[in-house]
Amino acid sequence: MDIEQNQAELIDNFVKQASAQKGTALGSVILEATSHPSLFAFSEILALPTVAELEGTENSVYLKVLQLFAHGTWSDYKSNCSSLPQLVPDQVLKLKQLTVLTLAETNKVLPYDELMMELDVTNVRELEDFLINECMYAGIVRGKLDQLRRCFEIQFAAGRDLRPGQLGSMIQTLSNWLGTSDNLLVSIQEEIKWADTMSELDKKHRKEVEDRVEEVKKSVSVKLQTVSRLKLSSEGSRISTLNLVE
Amino acid sequence: MASSSSSGLTFKLHPLVIVNISDHYTRVKSQLNPPPLTSTSATVNGVENQQQAPRVYGCVIGVQRGRTVEIFNSFELLYDPSTHSLDRPFLKKKQELYKKVFPHFYILGWYSTGSDAQESDMHIHRALMDINESPLYVLLNPAINPTQKDLPVTIYESELHVIDGIPQLIFVRSSYTIETVEAERISVDHVAHLKPSDGGSAATQLAAHLTGIHSAIKMLNSRIRVLHHYLVGMQKGDIPCENSLLRQVSSLLRRLPAIESEKFQDDFLMEYNDTLLITYLAMFTNCSSTMNELVDKFNTAYDRHSRRGGRTAFI
């Protein structure tokens, strides 16, 4: 996952900066972090004690902004517009990118209409440009644009910061996956056994048929010798009677 | 011979070298005339047979960039058992020829077969030191050990150690990685998938194919199990939360279910039905031709009574 590698350095930098400062100065660090074009992970910064202190003070708006960027979407911002400070265009762009990632969490195929509604984009051309330039070239999503069906098929999307409850559901998904693959392993083994038994049966059947053919061949060759003598004599008498009639 | 790790060079071995060495050894061994087995000399031959395994020698060539040594190719050399050294003029000639085709490759060392590096190998090693100051010794162990998981190839370097006050050159083992070019990967893959040519029955091929899939899924299963265990540990609090890993796992889980759209079901069922139909048709044709043969045989065997005249005599 190269995105994570790219981000690791940036995260370290911002964490150092944020832990060194307090209060309003933190606000500017948060602003810088949320507008940085390659940073999509904010939970490390959120976890810092200096940032958590912002709760309840006059700078708590910055904390709210950080939380919005960590877990929220563009529509969350629009509905809470009043309590949050004005966002810089870089931040707007980043929030929209993060919105796409959140949408990718639930569905693998995103219809254009839904995307346009969530991202406040009016025409398809703009939406596609946004998806191609901002999302795919940044490397946070990989997928195919299906213009005929007006949807975006996502093959890979980078992970967003985890909400506290998500860990449980991830573990659930993993255990389901494990269960399915275990069942599959068992059924494959049964198929292999079935294939082997069927080939055994087939060989046995073939052998039986050949044995019977051999038996019949032997008995027929014995019969032929006796039958031929009988037939010759009866045929000889028949021809002689025919001649007599003529 | 110590078995410690070496001076910090990283070695990359290409599969072509391994295949070359094993091919050389197999050729020489199979061309060796088997000793006559008589009852009187059986015990003598028994002892000799163990020493019959021939040793083959050759040179390895490749590129050295900084601290990375990449071994690309190898060629065979003549060994002169009387002088215990390699044939130098032959080596020179081969070296020139290879230089013309691969101008970037240098002689990096030499190879041989056997189970362990021996003292006599040091002579050859020293002899090669005038071409390359620190040559490599690649050793292939031709004994087939079904329980062994790793490749029986070891790379030795020479180091100057002071033993009993005398500086001596000894072999030290170094680790290496296997590096493949696309063409090598295709041929290795081809060799790995060799099926027995007379095991043509459908059942054995099916079983082999299924076994391959089974082992692949088993590997995937074990790796997912590790992830699962790790996440459970993180949830319980035994392991500190590592956010970047969690993000990667969540993006991985988002790729599931991998195949579930309606379009896939339609295409899959259509292809499945087509295959079944074709198999049915083939079965049909087979049956009807067998039936035809049976009827012909029946007619020839039992219909003689109804024919008028013209019954051939078989005296």
A184 close to B (CB below 8 A): yes
Cα separation, A242 vs A72, in Å, equals: 111
A140 and A173 belong to one structural domain: no
Adjacency order of strands within the sheet including A109-111: A109-111, A151-157, A141-146
Query: Among A81-85, B157-161, B221-225, B233-237, which stretch is predicted with the lowest mean pLDDT?
Result: A81-85
Cα separation, A17 vs A27, in Å, equals: 11
A95 and A22 belong to one structural domain: yes
A69 and A95 belong to one structural domain: yes
* Bigger pLDDT: A26 vs B132: B132
Question: Given B213, B249, B255, which is nearest A170 (Cβ)?
Answer: B249
Q: Which letter, b or e, does each residue of B246-266 get, where b requires 16 or more Cβ atoms within 10 Å of its Cβ?
A: bbbbbbbbbeeeeeeeeeeee
Residue ranges per structural domain of chain B: 10-34+51-194, 197-256, 261-302
**Digit-coded pLDDT (tens) for A47-105:** 777 777 777 666 777 777 778 887 878 888 888 777 777 777 888 888 888 888 888 88
Q: How far is CA B51 from the centre of its chain?
A: 26
A131 and A171 belong to one structural domain: no
A165 close to B (CB below 8 A): no
Q: Count of residues for chain A?
A: 246
A63 and A22 belong to one structural domain: yes
Domain end position, chosen among A129, A157, A185? A157
A123 and A175 belong to one structural domain: no
Question: Which amino acid, A115?
Answer: L
Kindly determine whether residue B220 and residue A181, on different chains, have CB atoms separated by under 8 Å: yes
**Digit-coded pLDDT (tens) for A195-246:** 889 889 989 999 999 999 999 999 888 887 777 665 555 555 555 445 554 4
Question: Given B204, B231, B314, which is nearest A171 (Cβ)?
Answer: B231
How far is the alpha carbon of B204 from chain A, nearest alpha carbon, in Å?
A: 7
Question: Given A108, A159, A167, which is nearest B251 (Cβ)?
Answer: A159
CATH of B10-34+51-194, one of 3.40.50.300, 3.40.50.2300, 3.40.140.10, 3.40.1190.20: 3.40.140.10
Question: Which amino acid, B59?
Answer: C
A185 close to B (CB below 8 A): yes
A10 and A93 belong to one structural domain: yes
> What range defines the domain where residue A92 resides?
2-157
Total number of domains in chain A: 2
Cα separation, B176 vs B157, in Å, equals: 12
Cα separation, A98 vs A92, in Å, equals: 10
End-to-end CA distance of chain B: 88
A199 contacts in chain B (CB < 8 Å): 201-204
A151 close to B (CB below 8 A): no
Cα separation, A111 vs A124, in Å, equals: 11
Q: Nearest chain A Cα to B246, which residue? A: A162
Q: Is the pLDDT of residue B63 over 80?
A: yes
Q: Nearest chain B Cα to A200, which residue? A: B203
A150 and A185 belong to one structural domain: no
Answer for the pair A151, B176: CB distance below 8 angstroms, yes or no: no
Domain end position, chosen among A133, A157, A181? A157
Beta pairing class for B57-65 and B68-76: antiparallel
B235 contacts in chain A (CB < 8 Å): 167-168, 171
A16 and A132 belong to one structural domain: yes
Domain end position, chosen among A122, A157, A192? A157
B214 close to A (CB below 8 A): yes
Long-range contacts of A135-140 (CB under 8 A, 24+ apart): A135/A97, A135/A100, A138/A37, A138/A38, A138/A97, A139/A2, A139/A3, A140/A3, A140/A40, A140/A97, A140/A100, A140/A101
**Digit-coded pLDDT (tens) for B252-311:** 887 776 666 777 889 999 999 999 999 999 999 999 999 999 999 888 888 766 655 545
- A:54-73 residues touching chain B, CB 8 A cutoff: none
How far is the alpha carbon of A45 from chain B, nearest alpha carbon, in Å?
A: 11
Kindly report the average pLDDT of chain B as a whole number: 80
How far is the alpha carbon of B201 from chain A, nearest alpha carbon, in Å?
A: 8
Cα separation, A79 vs A65, in Å, equals: 13
Tokens representing residue A177 in the block: 């996956």
Cα separation, A41 vs A21, in Å, equals: 20
Considering only CA atoms, which of B110, B160, B101, B168 is closest in space to residue B139? B110
- B:244-283 residues touching chain A, CB 8 A cutoff: 244, 246-251, 253-256, 261
Which residues pair with residue B160 across a beta bridge? B169
Answer for the pair A144, A153: CB distance below 8 angstroms, yes or no: yes
Considering only CA atoms, which of A166, A95, A85, A180 is closest in space to residue A134? A95
Kindly determine whether residue A174 and residue B251, on different chains, have CB atoms separated by under 8 Å: no
Q: Nearest chain A Cα to B234, which residue? A: A167
Tokens representing residue A181 in the block: 């693959």
Considering only CA atoms, which of B139, B127, B12 is closest in space to residue B66? B12
A90 and A182 belong to one structural domain: no
3-state secondary structure B113-132: ECCCCCCCHHHHHHHHCCCC
Cα separation, B176 vs B15, in Å, equals: 12
Q: Is the pLDDT of residue B51 over 60?
A: no
Question: Given A43, A175, A228, which is nearest B243 (Cβ)?
Answer: A43
